[in-house]
Structure 1
């Protein structure tokens, strides 16, 4: 069972998300909060697996909440999916750099949000197609930004980091390359250590900054 909490300043949004989560047999609603401070208290009390977090909230907003979660060693077990109506570049990149594992838009299909919860709970990263296009548009150019540790990656690790940036899961990548998911997981984990990536979402950002692309 995946326990999910919600933080959004709009009561009607919280109600809709709660109803969506409660109809899924493998998801459990773990509580709700109307601002960042209340969200942190909720996380410390309930320790959910996933937090659905709005960016724009009064007082402590979503970005500050993300930073507070990342700085609190007791909360690192909670994965965060940012759920917002705003897809501006600044919000996307700040949220990913602050520790978000997923980013979906409120006007997306309900199934997309439920999928995001399951994906990040499994340790993967998820960006909506619209968000992915924005990230690629900024970072998808070779040499767009330096990435420390990139030169220490083996050719296989570079290739698999590029595959991770497509948004595919380990199982999907394994299917494309005809190798085992464990092999993919091992190479990706080693690349994360070398690049000092906090999680898979940050690895995606690094791959796009470095302009890593799939071999043709």
Structure 2
């Protein structure tokens, strides 16, 4: 399987495979030594599973590699545990070559990639969870004032978003890509990326998945 992934990834001119690992312990060590931009991580491995390996790899925060979990098992517990561990994407091993390449590129760009049906499962899980569940985004703090109109529903968790940022957040919550958002709003894709980056910073969100959950939790989508 790793040999197949290597062939697919190296067939793309903009991706270089810098290392491989056969266990979770080896993966953590290789990520520390080689400092890749992206790690494609399995779940079930000897010595240490991929979920714990993911937690350790992303523990350094800024500058740590993005992790895309690629697994045979389409299980909710793996999906949610992977996201909680800090993964930037979740892909099944039967995904096509183009999906694997797209996942690596998206993760390298600092975004998260989930298939639309997976995104819906994430939203459903968090939307139905109790308020006692830790939020996947940082609390904005009670000293930050919510803007008027539909964003007032944010209450104490409110942040100040421009009208355009609000539009972009709603479309992100519909699992739209930057290209799709640009087409819908008749603006450039680079402009969309800027708005998304500003959104993540204002919301204290680690990635687009956290922003989607935030939008649905606060009635913005």
The one of 143, 156, 175 equivalent to 1:167 is 175
Q: Which has the higher contact order (CA 8 A, sep 6+)?
A: 1
Report the alpha carbon displacement of residue 21 of structure 1 after superposing the two structures with TM. 1.6
User: What's the counterpart of residue 206 of structure 2?
Assistant: 198
User: What's the counterpart of residue 3 of structure 2?
Assistant: 15
User: What's the counterpart of residue 47 of structure 2?
Assistant: 59
User: What's the counterpart of residue 45 of structure 1?
Assistant: 33
Residues 43 and 23 (structure 1), Cα distance of their counterparts in 2 relative to 1, 3 Å cut: same
Residues 24 and 161 (structure 1), Cα distance of their counterparts in 2 relative to 1, 3 Å cut: same
User: What's the counterpart of residue 143 of structure 2?
Assistant: none
Gaps of 5+ in 1: 1-12
Report the alpha carbon displacement of residue 54 of structure 1 after superposing the two structures with TM. 0.7
Larger Rg: 2
CA distances 1:113-161 after superposition (whole Å, capped 9, x unpaired): 1111122222222112442232233245799877633422435433322
The SS at the match of 1:103 is strand
User: What's the counterpart of residue 80 of structure 1?
Assistant: 67
The SS at the match of 1:27 is coil
The SS at the match of 2:95 is coil
> TM-score, with normalisation over the residues of structure 2?
0.77
Tell me, yes or no, if structure 1 residue 99 matches structure 2 residue 106. Answer: no
Gaps of 5+ in 2: 141-153
- After TM superposition, the structure 1 = structure 2 runs for residues 91-170 of structure 1, keeping only pairs within 5 Å, are 91-139=78-126, 148-149=139-140, 150=154, 151-154=158-161, 155-170=163-178
> TM-score, with normalisation over the residues of structure 1?
0.79
Residues 142 and 47 (structure 1), Cα distance of their counterparts in 2 relative to 1, 3 Å cut: closer
More strand by share: 1
Partner Cα distance (1:143, 1:173) in 2? 31
List, as ranges, runs of 4+ consecutive aligned residues in structure 1 with deviation greater than 6 Å.
141-147
How many corresponding residue pairs?
200
